[in-house]
Chains A and B, each alone.
Chain A
């Protein structure tokens, strides 16, 4: 087994034991990036060599010098007998939506192409303080607006390591691709409507959306402030638990950061699922699409291999002693996307007013008449189409005359979505669930350019994930098999407020019980190519 295949727990254990230097772990990771990642995302529209089609393109920027300094500091601490931290020597990538002092932080947007933040995000600082090696910033949908990573202004956009002709999902597609391709052991992503879990499912890795407020948003460029959640991406549940342990906790710099104490997520994994009540809902078996003419919802079944994987996971957990509770009603989940269209766009429009070419980032080089002209031209040239669309939609939905019909109503439907979950998890209610098991996505990864441009269809790829964001609940996507095209399938566990321990326990128990299943021995295509060379 190569160093890059080691889990974060194993890397940290070996480094802490003096069996592996942080510098060795770093160089192995950099070698893997140079072997599989190819050309980094750039604003320049360079023609791509055909061989680049098979590369991952997860990174926008490598921070090799920073990582080497960090590795040397870890090795120095070990020599001096100091504690190097829980993540000593573990290679990590950071979604380029988190600030890192002095390092370009672009949000994958032209409007921030040269922005060097004067401060570091709390979650990134916690990773650094725990001994992680920050290898670089990874690509994403522009300002996180998308579900395929194709809307990035930095091209080429990331590919799916399991099939480079397909998307890695999004918006944390660079994060999940970098972990799946064994370039790094861990990545820091964000999840506003499913942006950690959906790409985790598409790339066959583990992605955790913590409870809203569990991980600080300080230093995360805001998309939808009431929904945004930073969270871990890893290749197994234990590593995700380890990373969550490091980044979770209260932060005085984020007023919505929770003061609820954190659990020991790693210890919780060992508790098993015997006696846990695991719910299955008939409201997570179909997609509901709008008819553009009538506004009525049309129904479409999810991919059969995915629903089969969910049923298989339920039977595995039942064999381990969990109690499976069927027919749990979550009837308002089908309104998750319409509600998201309103809440997220209104908040995004508000958050994006700050980008004006005055204080930081891009400014139009064109000679302008006055300040208003400067702002208009800067935003026209600096923002991509998806960003403009979200600003315009948000302004429409919150404008006088429409806000009562749309925004106020969406906030009430959001409360009804939350109430469904409250009923399901109520310890004195009919179902008394500990976790809910659902598909993470309705389909496996789609081809590049198949969906991009159809903004409604793209948004509906988050239908299985978005309700947890509306309700603020923790959820995890874990690999649940492969479809007939060898594309990863994700299954999701949703839990009550601040019970990340429960969803991780369920995911870990399923993972450990299925370690010998044949699909787990199949490796992503880009890694099979590396072996063949």
Chain B
């Protein structure tokens, strides 16, 4: 497998997808660090994977009771949630218009 680097073009695409904005200096620093981190990550490409090894999501086998029942449970104090929002209107979160939405 080839050792890849993140191009400036791909980096700027990722910044848009991540809903971020960066100054030029911040962008240059982050791209450099991403490629340095990728050098470390690329070591994984050299690992001889054991035959039949299955990916693991937690390392340990999760021994929990599993997800809760998919049942609606009202939050006792919804006003506390709304009180923490930057802007509300008629008991709902308020946001600016979505461009192009009717």
CA distance A118 to B57 in the complex (A): 30
List B contacts of A339 (CB < 8 A): 44
Contact with A along B76-89 (1 / 0, CB 8 A): 01001101111100
| Contact yes or no, A380 B22, CB < 8 A | yes
| Contact yes or no, A259 B98, CB < 8 A | no
Contact check: which of A211, A332, A356, A377 meets B60 at CB < 8 Å? A211
We find that the number of chain B residues with CB closer than 8 angstroms to chain A is: 62
A102: nearest residue on chain B (CB-CB)?
B80
CA distance A358 to B11 in the complex (A): 26
List B contacts of A455 (CB < 8 A): 33, 36-37
Contact check: which of B11, B75, B83, B85 meets A392 at CB < 8 Å? B11
Say if the beta carbon of A52 comes within 8 Å of chain B. no
List B contacts of A459 (CB < 8 A): 37, 40
CA distance A426 to B34 in the complex (A): 39
List B contacts of A376 (CB < 8 A): 19-21
Say if the beta carbon of A505 comes within 8 Å of chain B. no
Contact with B along A467-507 (1 / 0, CB 8 A): 00111110000000000000000000000010000000000
Contact check: which of B6, B18, B26, B53 meets A412 at CB < 8 Å? B53
List B contacts of A116 (CB < 8 A): 80, 83-84
| Contact yes or no, B60 A472, CB < 8 A | yes
Contact check: which of A408, A456, A472 meets B40 at CB < 8 Å? A456
CA distance A472 to B56 in the complex (A): 11
Say if the beta carbon of A338 comes within 8 Å of chain B. yes
Task: Specify the main secondary structure of chain B where it touches its partner.
Answer: loop
Residues of B65-79 at the interface with A, using a CB-CB cut-off of 8 Å, are 65-68, 75, 77
**A456 nearest CB across to chain B (Å):** 5
Say if the beta carbon of A427 comes within 8 Å of chain B. no
Contact with B along A396-426 (1 / 0, CB 8 A): 1101000001101111111111110000000
**A522 nearest CB across to chain B (Å):** 36
Say if the beta carbon of B62 comes within 8 Å of chain A. yes
B76: nearest residue on chain A (CB-CB)?
A118
Say if the beta carbon of A320 comes within 8 Å of chain B. no
A367: nearest residue on chain B (CB-CB)?
B96
Contact check: which of B14, B60, B84, B95 meets A371 at CB < 8 Å? B95
Contact check: which of A226, A259, A472 meets B64 at CB < 8 Å? A259
List A contacts of B10 (CB < 8 A): 396
Residues of A334-360 at the interface with B, using a CB-CB cut-off of 8 Å, are 335, 337-339, 341-342, 349, 356-360
Contact of A359 with B85 at beta-carbon distance under 8 Å, contacts A118-B80, A370-B98 already known: yes
List B contacts of A392 (CB < 8 A): 11, 14-15, 18, 20, 30, 34
| Contact yes or no, A213 B64, CB < 8 A | yes
List A contacts of B83 (CB < 8 A): 116
| Contact yes or no, B56 A341, CB < 8 A | no
Contact with A along B18-54 (1 / 0, CB 8 A): 1111100010011001111101111111110110011
Contact check: which of B37, B45, B58, B66 meets A212 at CB < 8 Å? B58
Contact with B along A436-469 (1 / 0, CB 8 A): 0000000000000000000110010000000001
CA distance A274 to B56 in the complex (A): 35
List B contacts of A5 (CB < 8 A): none
A-B residue pairs, 6 tightest by C-beta: A472-B60, A411-B55, A472-B59, A363-B86, A118-B80, A380-B21
Question: Interface of B with A (CB < 8 Å)?
Answer: 1, 3, 6, 10-11, 14-15, 17-22, 26, 29-30, 33-37, 39-47, 49-50, 53-60, 62-68, 75, 77, 80-81, 83-87, 93, 95-99
Supply 12 A–B pairs (Cβ within 8 Å), ascending by A.
A255-B64, A258-B62, A341-B40, A371-B97, A375-B19, A377-B21, A413-B49, A415-B53, A416-B47, A455-B36, A473-B60, A497-B60
Given contacts A415-B53, A455-B36, 18 further A-B contacts (CB under 8 A): A116-B84, A118-B84, A213-B60, A258-B63, A259-B63, A292-B35, A292-B39, A297-B43, A338-B40, A392-B34, A409-B44, A410-B44, A411-B56, A412-B55, A415-B54, A415-B59, A419-B53, A459-B40
